[in-house]
Amino acid sequence: MTDAAPARESLFEHDLASLTVACEAIGLPRRTGGQIMKWVYEKGVVDFALMSDLGKEPRTRLQERFSTLQGTVIRHQVASDATQKLLIEWGEPAAKPADSALRLTETHSDKQTETVLIPTDDRQTACVSSQIGCPVGCKFCASGIGGLDGNLSAGRIVEQVWRLGQLPGVGRVSNVVFMGMGEPLANFEQVTQAIRTINAPWGLGIGARKITVSTVGLPAAIRKLCTLEIPVTLALSLHAPFDELRRSIIPWAEYSTIEELLDACQEWFVKTGREITLEYILLGGVNDRFEHAEELARLARSMRANVNLIRYNEVKGLPFLRPTNEDVRLFQETLRERGANSHIRASRGRDIAAACGQLRHEAQHETQQGSAPARSESLDSRA
């Protein structure tokens, strides 16, 4: 009986330096790492057999050493407004790269995450997940139903952006927001490693100011993010201006007060010079009243912050309601009258369950009811 072949390393887990070392370790020239990165990130090719500037024998060695796509797209939905959403199922992790800084965090087989492509006239925005499920447990959000099942590795985060860039008509992803499933700063090392690849000229080449990390609020992690050499944009998911109300809809809010969060955000502004975005989901009859707007305006004025108002997208089985257009308009007017800069985010993809965690939640519900979700293999054929 022969021993099983060793698991292959995931190509997306590598940066240029570690890939160069790995290629040298199997007897290939130093330039091979750069050639591979160009094929993967510039040309969108992950099949070694198609990398025509590499010889046949080197391509065989690479195929034996590395894997490429680790996920399987089990649903691909397109909304009437051209928003696209992928539900990705992740198998067992590939082998860990030799460089310990790039090791995989724990992942689980047959686990699903979502990623969304949001097109507008001047940008193609990828909304990516950082965890399988979510530990925060916001009462209004589908992502946290069932809790946290594991962290995504840096490579699996990058793979989401790469996949969205290969969708027909997209061309190139221009912006990335960590606003999908999970709390990014609770998976700090993998998220920041992914950001380096997303930003790097040998990687996806997306500018730092076009990368946004959205957090529910971990003061220590926000301060740690200040040391990241890539000046990304920071968004704080506030969702309530009073501590008691915030704790009632965001369980993790019991670990830090709004004052402590804003102090950390102020340190972010001082050290990076980047303004904070306060994300605020409007829940009908819960946090969308005059007194909420008045206090939110006071908090926004206390620091350099913009307020991003988001209409709630209803989730099947949860009791929260979408506010009326009139209530949203009055809320924004109250903010502006009190000197707070605010914008209303356009709702996208409502007809494809585009809110965070909705598609996964619906697919799991269907499976429990005995009807498995339909699979889409269109993107996996590129591997």
List active site positions.
Answer: 114, 356
Q: What angle do CA 126, 162, 46 make, to 5 degrees?
A: 170
Instruction: Write out the two tokens for 250.
Output: 């965001």
CA dist list (Å): 123 to 173, 210, 237, 353: 8, 10, 23, 21
Crossing angle (nearest 10°) for helices 290-301 and 325-337: 40
HEC string of 339-369 equals CCCEEEECCCCHHHCCCCCHHHHHHHHHHHC
SS3 of residue 41 by DSSP: helix
Nearest to 154 by CA among 85, 204, 223: 204
SS3 of residue 1 by DSSP: coil
Residue 19: what residue type? L
List the 305-311 sheet strands across, edge first.
Answer: 71-78, 84-90, 111-119, 124-127, 175-178, 211-215, 233-237, 276-282, 305-311, 342-345
Count of alpha carbons within 13 Å of 142, Cβ hemisphere only? 22
Instruction: Write out the two tokens for 262.
Output: 């804003």
Distance CA 182, CA 204 (A): 22
Distance CA 332, CA 336 (A): 6
CA dist list (Å): 261 to 52, 178, 184: 51, 19, 16
Q: Which residue has the tokens 């939640």?
A: 361
Give the ranges where 9-83 is alpha helix by DSSP (H). 16-25, 31-37, 56-65
Q: Please state the separation of Cα 190 from the chain's center in Å.
A: 12
The DSSP bridge partners found for residue 229 are none
Instruction: Write out the two tokens for 261.
Output: 């969060």
Distance CA 265, CA 347 (A): 27
